[in-house]
Structure 1
C-alpha cells in the first residue's frame, strides 16, 4: 500500500507544470489588451480579419470560397519569442491543405550523394522496364 501511495505522489510531482526560473505566473496570467481587432464578413464566404495584442501577437487573414467547397485562406501570424525576436508564419490553405512558410519550420537535410545516385539508377531501371520481385 505504501508503494502505491509513493507511486501516486511521484506521478503527481512529475506531472506538475515545469516553468523556467525566470517565469512569472502572475505576469503570465494577467489579461492582455487587444490593440486592434478588425473583421469583415461579406456573408458570401469572403472575409478579412486582423488583430494585434499589446504583447506582440498579430494575426491577419483573408478568405474566399474555394472551387471544391472549401475556404481558401491566405494569412500570416506573428508572435514574440523568448529571445525577443519575432516569429512569423505565412500560410495558404486551399484544396491542397494547409501550407505554412516560415524560417521556424525545420527542413530535412539534403540527401547524400550516394542516395541521389541510387535514385537515379532506380529511375533508369524503371524506364527500361526492369523490375525486381
Structure 2
C-alpha cells in the first residue's frame, strides 16, 4: 500500500513539473572568415581564427621541461565585439604557474587596506619560529 502511494506521488510530481526548456537555435550562423593551424611533432603549435562577428583568437604553445616534467607553455589573445559595438581584447599566458590574463575589461581586485598591508609587512619582517622546550 505504501509503495502504491509513493508511486502515485512520484508520478504526480513528475506531471506537475514544468517542461524542460527547448534548446534555442541561433538566429544567424556566424561564418569563419579566416583560420590557420599548425602543429609540430615536438608539441609546438599555433592557431588563429577570425569570425564574421569580429571575434578573433590567436594562440601558440610549446612543451618545455620544468623540474624534469613536460609542461605546456601557452600564450595568446582573443577579442570580441559586445552588443554595444565596443571591442574587448584579452591577452594571456598559461604555464606551470597558472593562467594569467590581462585586459582592460577584466575585473581588478580592490587595493589591500593599509592596516592589513602593515600587518603583512610585519609578518614578513618577523617570521614565526617555533621555540623548542626541553622536557
**Does TM, normalized by the shorter one, top 0.5?**
yes
Instruction: State whether residues 66 and 94 of structure 1, in contact with CA within 8 Å, keep that contact through their aligned partners in structure 2.
Output: no
Larger radius of gyration: 2
1:8-66 superposed Cα distances (whole Å, 9 cap, x missing partner): 34xx5xx859xxxxxxx77x432111110011112221111110001011010111112
Match of 1:50 in 2: 48
Match of 2:109 in 1: 108
Q: How far apart, CA to CA, are the structure 2 residues paired with 1:70 and 1:122?
A: 34
Instruction: State whether residues 59 and 75 of structure 1, in contact with CA within 8 Å, keep that contact through their aligned partners in structure 2.
Output: yes
Q: How far apart, CA to CA, are the structure 1 residues paired with 2:16 and 2:123?
A: 55
Match of 2:59 in 1: 61
Q: How far apart, CA to CA, are the structure 1 residues paired with 2:76 and 2:91?
A: 6
Match of 2:86 in 1: 85
1:67-106 superposed Cα distances (whole Å, 9 cap, x missing partner): 1312211100111112211111111111112211122221
Which structure shows the higher helix fraction?
A: 1
TM-score (norm. length: structure 2): 0.69
Are 1:8 and 2:6 matched, yes or no?
no
TM-score (norm. length: structure 1): 0.70
Q: Which runs of 5+ in 2 are unaligned?
A: 1-8
How many correspondences in the alignment? Answer: 117
Q: How far apart, CA to CA, are the structure 1 residues paired with 2:31 and 2:111?
A: 44
Are 1:99 and 2:80 matched, yes or no?
no
Q: How far apart, CA to CA, are the structure 1 residues paired with 2:17 and 2:86?
A: 41
Q: How far apart, CA to CA, are the structure 2 residues paired with 1:61 and 1:107?
A: 24
Identify if the C-alpha distance between structure 1 residues 111 and 77 changes in structure 2 by more than 3 Å, giving closer, same or farther.
same
Q: Which runs of 5+ in 1 are unaligned?
A: 18-24
The alignment yields a C-alpha RMSD, in angstroms, of: 2.8
